Amino acid sequence: MPRRRDLQSILVVGSGPIVIGQACEFDYSGTQACRVLVEEGYRVVLVNSNPATIMTDPATADRTYVEPLDPDVVAAIIERERPDAVLPTLGGQTALNLTMTLAERGVLDALGVEVIGARPEAIATAEDRERFKAAMGEIGLEVPASRFAHSVDEAMAIGAESGYPVIVRPSYILGGSGAGVADDPAALRRLAGVGLAASPISEVLVERSIVGWKEYELEVMRDRADNCVVVCSIENLDPMGVHTGDSITVAPAQTLSDVEYQAMRDDAFACMRRVGVETGGSNVQFAVDPADGRRMIIEMNPRVSRSSALASKATGFPIAKIAARLAVGYELPEIANDITRATPASFEPTIDYVVTKVPRFAFEKLVGAEPTLGPRMQSVGEVMAIGRTFCESLQKAMRSMEQGRHGLNADPAESGLAGWSRAELLERLAVPTPERIFEVEAALRAGAGTDEVAAASGIDPWFLTQIARITGARGELEAHRAAHPEDPLGTLGPADWRVVKRLGFADAQLAYLLGTDEAAVRAARVAAGVLPTFKTVDTCGAEFAADTPYHYSTYEDEEEVRPSARQRVIILGSGPNRIGQGIEFDYCCVHASTALRAAGYETVMVNCNPETVSTDYDTSDRLYFEPLSAEDVLNVVEAEVRASRDGGQVTGVVVSLGGQTPLKLAAALGDDLVLGTPAGSIDLAEDRERWNQLCHRLGIAQPPGGTATTVEEALAVARTVGFPVLVRPSYVLGGRAMEIVYDEEGMRRVMVSVAAGMVREGGVSRERPVLVDRFLEDAIEVDVDSARDRDGEVLIAGVMEHVEEAGVHSGDSACALPPQSLRAATVAVIEAHTRAIAEALGVVGLLNVQYAVKDGTVYVLEANPRASRTVPFVAKATGLALAQVAARLLVGETLASLRAAGELGPRRSVGHVSVKEAVLPFDRFPGVDTLLGPEMRSTGEVMGVDTTFGLAFAKSQMAAGTPLPREGTVFLSLADRDKPAGLEVARRLAALGFSLAATKGTAELLKADGLEVAIEVAKVGEDGSGPHAPELIAAEGVQLVVNTPRGRGPRADGRYIRQAALAHRVPCLTTLAAARAAVAGTADSERPRLEVRSLQDLHSPPSPARALAGSLRRWRIRIRRRLRPRRFPPSAGTPFLDKRHVRPGPAPSAPDVAALR
Amino acid sequence: MLRRPEALLVLNDATVFAGEAAGVLPELGIATGELVFNTALSGYQEVVTDPSYAGQVIAFTYPHVGNYGTNPDDDEARRPFCAGVVVRDLVATGSNWRSRRGFEDFLVDNGVPAITGIDTRRLTRHVREAGALPCAMGIAGAEAVAAAARSAPSTTGRDLVSQVTIERPTTRPGGPRRVVVFDFGVKETMLRHLSGLATLTVVPASTPADEVLAMEPDGVFLSNGPGDPAPLTGPVTAIAGLLGKVPIFGICLGHQLLGLAAGGTTYKLLFGHHGTNHPVRRLATGTVEITSQNHNYALEAGSVPGASVTHVNLNDGVVEGIALEGAGAFSVQYHPEAAPGPHDARYLFERFERLMASGVPRRGR
């Protein structure tokens, strides 16, 4: 059946900010879906609060709403746009939940909106644990048995029924403490007794434990004619017990016989049919007992998932695109296979390579978090690698991680495992950690058998025998070196080279093993004639000719890169998502590809992140799924040079749009290849001494500071410039290991930790010193994104004022565009400085500069001649496609020519304020302090847009998932230095009708000012009349916490308050600046309605017709009072002023933001 | 460094692939056969033991072969009949609770030569253009292997069935009906499915029609088998003698022979269908089945008088199923028993049961 003609307009719901467990894979899937639906002629309305997405580009949908993913807001959008249907299955759990809420509230029925993709009934069956278990029982599929018990006898009965081992989990115990595994009835009796006593409601969950079973996933698709296919099977290297998102996974399944695989396939289809997913993709997870093959179904996602993105990239089968087509009525055989073009989508891809996905973690940034993996996902990103064998793909994945590793050990970083004995290593293997895979190899090398390692780790022996091949080859190389100490490289024959390269060894690993350097290895290898060949991902194992140049490297006979007679630009992506380098950079790379394709170039993308839009085979003319290491990138460049025909050539390589990752490769590529800002300027901006000289020459003030390689040097600098100082390593993104230091003792501590953190980069040295700068307290931080062309014209694209003061990492701070408190003269100084720096650095392309403004003086903090995290935000806020402009400048076009061609678009839309807010992962890491500081810890961002700063800020908070309360109690606990300013916040809160709670010192201050303190809170360990803070928060007696760190030394003070707020999901502001932004600005609070606006409305000059339509459709939403007071949508009535705008003194009776500026 | 002996795979068109010898070393150091590639991701044991590969060298497109070892339950015949195995990476030691023996040991024990380390993707790309070519592989030196490749036989025009069929009839107890199975190289899983319906009498390929009719079966099953159907005149005559007298169900070679018996013609595909992911449309319902396939020859579309096409391959339009309604016979080119492969088409065995229940229309038997 062709597409449905009864639908005209479809609402696509995005997944919101990047958080752990829900990352940019949903930008990939949502973008695919929007494009398909637009192509099919539907009017597509999109809502997503995340500005750093391709899907929220105004060109992706007909109407784009960057608005909070909140039921009321989406209801307003539906009311305004009147779509015929909503497609919720491509926006992750967020979109699914939101749609279910709208369905339950009757909004969809009332407005006649059909849910397509998956019916609410099917979603409920898959999502509700009990319903799912019952449904699977009906069709004879086994699920791990679990029931609640309220007595020891009951628990014993459940244990007898389910079989052992069982997990016992006491109910209502925070953080899962008190849980345990019982291997036999005696242990269950004991654990149940303890657990029942620990649980406040005397209840324990007794569940059959399948920890250690093998884990599999099948990606399945179904159309409305009931045609079902498996797109991909995935096997987890880490057995059950580690969340699949945190597991190393491999496609296709490796250790299932066909008999077992086909039975699993039957189960997956039966599950999808019973749950009732009529069209689209689903993901079904299984556990298999390695001892007897017994199979259980773990869960089913009735939507496109992270695994679907992986499966799409692993096979070339575009699940999201096809799911979108199926949702509007197509059947699988009616859809062509994009890759072969000759065959239909109703088949099961087969692959002739092995795909390995490895998760990337950020424990080093989350002090206090235990780096142990378990059932709760903690990874922040992932890489995927393709090789012809598992060994090759695993080693490629390891060097794709960009954590200083060149493969599976055999590199300098393996020294961390050097001291461990075989027995110690085997003991460590029992605990899954991010390092376990390296320990596996080390244990095998230390002489452990694969059976011993399998027993210790639960990893299937198949993977271990493969890893043992890597270990074996390493041993042979070491023996070879010992036998040929004079010339280990020259004595390797072509067959030897081929063996080790086919096992995935990087040249850098071979250099390490053979005692030479990488360049020498490369030269010897090339001399031996052993060069990589690039194969194609084609969905069909080469059975049919592929139309799509989607390549990976391996060492085989034949290369498949197609000749090209065109000018090609190679764009280097940003690698795995991590804190500090996320989707924003992928956005920039995708835009570069789009812009350069439009300008007539053939674009070549290199990246290794399966979650992204950049690794969609449609994004660029050619895609290389490769690690972003110098060796692998040079291989791509050489392959493209080899493929040049008839005047076609490689114009150059874009290194400045993918964050720090490609920038680091600039030197290896050389200035002839690097497009835009030369490598020397990149160095200049990073080299402290030269940068200082440059600023001095330009007459731009800097916070005084210096560099140090030892504690003594650092102390000397600090004594000269005065404490507090900001201490950070050079050459890092995302402020890793950056700290504010207040005294000498702190300096000694920090210098040690900074040095430890730089071990992988080779430690602290003259080349890579530690930077020590005077920390400007209470300064306003400003970010500028600009672009310069080869003729020297500079475009100031956006000036952003941070909400949090300097000292909070810019990535974790909220910011506003345009700036809200800076005077025009200050902005002019900032713009002039930016132009001067761009000129002095000889920037061609993007330049981001960070400033601190204190007492009217503008200090420059740093300059980065590359894309910044804020480029997509600036684009969404101003309507200027900055990354596209930058890409055109990189290939030599000028701003003047782009302007003449009308490609600079609308600038500086007036009449609205945009606020970017960071989204933090603390709910996943209960042990981590939530206090914001110079170390970046946010995983994603949201954007709020409205007519005033207050409204936009409130929307951003709502979008970030911590909507500010409209009434109730605010608990203040302030550092002494914040008390004077905090008083002002308290006054305004009281005026807004909030009641106040405060710790003793703060309360005294408030009372002295005549404010009423409803609850005086005792500090922990302090006898007082009132309740302790955690108790008060736990009892839901507080709707907002304002806790600023006490003193300037130990920042841990007040931590228990922040922990309690986190645990009970009470919004907690840790800087006074944020509190001011949040609490001030009641000017608009009388406005009873919240407006939503599409980007198209904001940026396009209103045509008369559109203006008329707009005025006819003045739609607004009524603010619904929420059941829970702290969940009030703040944007309704609590837009807040930034306190910085308010001079000390009585609060203005009628707050007026403009008047205060 | 430790490596296996170097070996070569040379195609009839002189294309050379270098690898390493594995499995058993063939007599005189060289094995020959017709090279085909199989795209299944799992099921190598079933593939290697499928008698339909007699006379052929099987190249697996998935690089790792041998991952989960082998076990007696997954054998499709009493021994492998294929001429050799080509892989990118032969995994000597598998891992699976069902495994009893490593795949390489299995090959050695069964006398199957193999070559590993081959760029099987290059080989596949070559075969998809050049077709299923005769080939030679071994350790006997480049010139000897190349010479053997030049004279290596293809399957065209050869009767390979006689090499794989049983010598005398055997019976296999089972369901209430009686079915005669023509063994052209029948797979064990087919017999397992059929024995759920009937007691089976498995007869040699050369059995004439009157002997079959004398057994008074409720139905006749035409099995899969190797190679070209055209030279199999004996079985074609026998089937023609059974048509209209007893319900008939054919699979793969059995399907081609049914078509020939009914007056149709067959042709050789360029490189055939060998895999477990072939989409086939069932014309009666419009739905798509993902099927297991293994054939190099096919029925010419529209060549069979009185037959309706019931199934079509969506990749290339090859006739995948026919029905001779009037004669109470039907057949499919693909493998509904699916070993290896998806179970989507198992309903065809039920259809055979229904056909036997209703008997041949009109003439009866």
pLDDT band at A931 (very low <50, low <70, confident <90, very high): confident
pLDDT at position A1089: 58
CB atoms within 10 A of CB A678: 18
Separation of alpha carbons A1044 and A977, rounded Å? 10
Which CATH code for domain B161-358? 3.40.50.880
pLDDT band at A473 (very low <50, low <70, confident <90, very high): very high
**Per-residue model confidence as pLDDT tens digits over B325-355:** 999 999 999 999 999 999 999 999 999 999 9
Q: Is the pLDDT of residue A698 over 70?
A: yes
CA-based nearest distance A415→chain B, Å: 26
Q: Is the pLDDT of residue A1048 over 70?
A: no
SS3 category, A1058: helix
CB–CB of B124 and A352 under 8 A?
A: yes
* Mean pLDDT score, A623-627: 98
Judging by DSSP bridges, how do beta strands A295-301 and A85-87 pair with one another? unpaired
Which residues have CB under 8 Å from A352's CB, separation 6+?
A: A388, A541, A542, B39, B61, B62, B63, B88, B120, B121, B124
**Residue A1136, token pair as written in the block:** 């807040």
Separation of alpha carbons B333 and B297, rounded Å? 9
SS3 category, A326: helix
Q: How far apart are the first and last CA of chain B?
A: 70
pLDDT at position A21: 87
pLDDT band at A197 (very low <50, low <70, confident <90, very high): confident
**Residue A548, token pair as written in the block:** 């799509």
Residue B303 and residue B295 in contact, taking contact as beta carbons nearer than 8 Å? no
A262–chain B Cβ distance below 8 A for any pair: yes
pLDDT band at A192 (very low <50, low <70, confident <90, very high): very high
As a whole number of Å, the CA-based R_g of chain B is 20
pLDDT at position A1107: 42
CB atoms within 10 A of CB B3: 11
Share of residues in chain A with pLDDT > 90 (%)? 63
Residue A887 and residue A596 in contact, taking contact as beta carbons nearer than 8 Å? yes
Phi, psi of A904 (to 5 degrees): -90, -5
Q: Is the pLDDT of residue B155 over 60?
A: yes
Which residues have CB under 8 Å from A58's CB, separation 6+?
A: A64, A879, A1095, A1096, A1099
**Per-residue model confidence as pLDDT tens digits over A738-752:** 788 888 888 998 888
pLDDT at position A1085: 44
Residue A295 and residue A268 in contact, taking contact as beta carbons nearer than 8 Å? no
**Per-residue model confidence as pLDDT tens digits over B234-244:** 999 999 999 99
pLDDT band at A1016 (very low <50, low <70, confident <90, very high): confident
Please tell me which residue, A726 or A1102, carries the higher pLDDT value.
Answer: A726
Q: Is the pLDDT of residue A1046 over 80?
A: no
A702–chain B Cβ distance below 8 A for any pair: no
Please tell me which residue, A370 or A39, carries the higher pLDDT value.
Answer: A39
Separation of alpha carbons A335 and A317, rounded Å? 12
Domain chopping of chain B, boundaries: 6-151, 161-358
Q: Is the pLDDT of residue A1152 over 50?
A: no
Residue B156, classified by CB atoms within 10 Å of its CB into exposed (0-12), middle (13-18) or buried (19+), is middle
pLDDT at position A907: 59
Q: Is the pLDDT of residue A77 over 80?
A: yes
Residue A798 and residue A870 in contact, taking contact as beta carbons nearer than 8 Å? yes
Q: E strands, A620-665, where? A: 622-625, 649-654
Q: Is the pLDDT of residue A213 over 60?
A: yes
Residue A180's DSSP bridge partners are A168
CA A630 and chain centroid, separation: 24
Residue type, A979: K
Task: Determine if the pTM surpasses 0.95.
Answer: no
What separation in angstroms does the CA of A1082 have from each of A971, A986, A1079, A1087, A1139? 19, 13, 8, 10, 12
Separation of alpha carbons A714 and B34, rounded Å? 75
pLDDT at position A1017: 84
pLDDT band at A1137 (very low <50, low <70, confident <90, very high): very low
Residue B205 and residue B235 in contact, taking contact as beta carbons nearer than 8 Å? yes
CA-based nearest distance B275→chain A, Å: 9
Highest mean pLDDT among A23-32, A586-595, A947-956, B27-36: A586-595
CB atoms within 10 A of CB B171: 12
Q: Is the pLDDT of residue A151 over 50?
A: yes
Separation of alpha carbons A933 and A1044, rounded Å? 12
Q: Is the pLDDT of residue A1145 over 50?
A: no
Cβ-Cβ pairs closer than 8 A, A with B, add up to 171
Cα atoms in the Cβ-side hemisphere of radius 13 Å centred on A558: 17
Residue A64 and residue A57 in contact, taking contact as beta carbons nearer than 8 Å? yes
Separation of alpha carbons A760 and A40, rounded Å? 50
Judging by DSSP bridges, how do beta strands A649-654 and A567-572 pair with one another? parallel
Find, in chain B, the residue whose alpha carbon is nearest to that of A342. Answer: B315
Please tell me which residue, A952 or A1031, carries the higher pLDDT value.
Answer: A952
CB–CB of B42 and A541 under 8 A?
A: no
Residue A1123, classified by CB atoms within 10 Å of its CB into exposed (0-12), middle (13-18) or buried (19+), is exposed
Q: Is the pLDDT of residue A1112 over 50?
A: no
Separation of alpha carbons A878 and A876, rounded Å? 6
pLDDT at position A1106: 44
Q: Could you list the active site residues of B?
A: 252, 335, 337
The distance between the two most distant Cα atoms of chain A, rounded to a whole number of Å, is 87
Q: E strands, A38-192, where? A: 43-47, 63-65, 85-87, 114-115, 146-149, 166-170, 180-182
pLDDT band at A84 (very low <50, low <70, confident <90, very high): very high
Residue A604 and residue A637 in contact, taking contact as beta carbons nearer than 8 Å? no
Separation of alpha carbons B225 and B162, rounded Å? 10
Please tell me which residue, A1067 or A156, carries the higher pLDDT value.
Answer: A156
Contact list in A for residue B276 (CB cut-off 8 A) is 258, 348, 350
Residue B76 is classified by DSSP as S
What separation in angstroms does the CA of A71 have from each of A945, A1087, A1097? 17, 19, 22
**Per-residue model confidence as pLDDT tens digits over A633-666:** 999 999 999 999 999 999 999 999 999 999 989 9
pLDDT at position A163: 87
CB–CB of B74 and A258 under 8 A?
A: yes
pLDDT band at A736 (very low <50, low <70, confident <90, very high): low
Q: Is the ipTM of this complex over 0.85?
A: yes
Best of A223, A255, A257 to mutate (most B CBs within 10 Å, chain B): A257
The packing angle between helices A949-959 and A1072-1079, to 10°, is 110
Contact list in A for residue B2 (CB cut-off 8 A) is 476
**Residue B94, token pair as written in the block:** 């598998």
Q: Is the pLDDT of residue B95 over 80?
A: yes
Find, in chain A, the residue whose alpha carbon is nearest to that of B18. Answer: A557
pLDDT at position A1090: 67
Find, in chain A, the residue whose alpha carbon is nearest to that of B315. Answer: A343
pLDDT band at B303 (very low <50, low <70, confident <90, very high): very high
**Per-residue model confidence as pLDDT tens digits over A564-586:** 999 999 999 999 999 989 999 99
pLDDT at position A975: 81
CB atoms within 10 A of CB A1108: 11
pLDDT band at A906 (very low <50, low <70, confident <90, very high): low
pLDDT at position A1108: 42
Phi, psi of A449 (to 5 degrees): -80, 160
**Residue A1149, token pair as written in the block:** 């009776």
Judging by DSSP bridges, how do beta strands B56-60 and B30-38 pair with one another? parallel
A257–chain B Cβ distance below 8 A for any pair: yes
Find, in chain A, the residue whose alpha carbon is nearest to that of B70. Answer: A257
Residue A722 is classified by DSSP as -
CB–CB of A545 and B315 under 8 A?
A: no
Share of residues in chain B with pLDDT > 90 (%)? 95
CB atoms within 10 A of CB A262: 23
CB–CB of A258 and B43 under 8 A?
A: yes
SS3 category, A1136: coil
Contact list in A for residue B284 (CB cut-off 8 A) is none
pLDDT at position A1086: 42
Q: Is the pLDDT of residue A852 over 80?
A: yes
Q: Is the pLDDT of residue A153 over 70?
A: yes
DSSP H stretches of helix in chain B: 44-48, 103-109, 120-130, 142-151, 161-164, 188-195, 209-214, 233-242, 253-261, 347-358
Best of A233, A259, A555 to mutate (most B CBs within 10 Å, chain B): A259
Residue A617's DSSP bridge partners are none
Sheet of A43-47, strand order: A63-65, A43-47, A9-13, A85-87, A114-115
Q: Is the peptide bond before A170 cis (omega within 30 degrees of 0)?
A: no
Q: Is the pLDDT of residue A70 over 60?
A: yes
The class of domain B6-151 in CATH terms is: alpha beta
Phi-psi map region of B294: left, alpha, beta (phi>0 left; psi -120 to 50 alpha): beta
Q: What is the rounded (10 degree) CA torsion for A35, B287, A286, A608? A: -30
Contact list in B for residue A460 (CB cut-off 8 A) is 95
Q: Is the pLDDT of residue A1101 over 70?
A: no
Residue A1040 and residue A1066 in contact, taking contact as beta carbons nearer than 8 Å? yes
Q: Is the peptide bond before A724 cis (omega within 30 degrees of 0)?
A: yes
Separation of alpha carbons B157 and B231, rounded Å? 6
Phi, psi of A1018 (to 5 degrees): -85, 145
Q: Is the pLDDT of residue A1136 over 50?
A: no
Phi, psi of A521 (to 5 degrees): -65, -45
CB–CB of B277 and A349 under 8 A?
A: yes
Nearest CA to A1118 out of A1138, A1154, A1090 is that of A1090
Residue A1060's DSSP bridge partners are none
CB–CB of B64 and A254 under 8 A?
A: yes
A478–chain B Cβ distance below 8 A for any pair: no
What separation in angstroms does the CA of A144 have from each of A168, A180, A288? 13, 16, 11
Separation of alpha carbons A295 and A266, rounded Å? 12
- Tokens 């449609």 belong to which residue? A618
Please tell me which residue, A242 or B2, carries the higher pLDDT value.
Answer: A242
Separation of alpha carbons A428 and A418, rounded Å? 14
Residue A729's DSSP bridge partners are A770
Q: Is the peptide bond before A1045 cis (omega within 30 degrees of 0)?
A: no
Residue A169 and residue A196 in contact, taking contact as beta carbons nearer than 8 Å? no
**Per-residue model confidence as pLDDT tens digits over B181-197:** 999 999 999 999 999 99
Cα atoms in the Cβ-side hemisphere of radius 13 Å centred on A978: 26
Residue A558 and residue A501 in contact, taking contact as beta carbons nearer than 8 Å? no
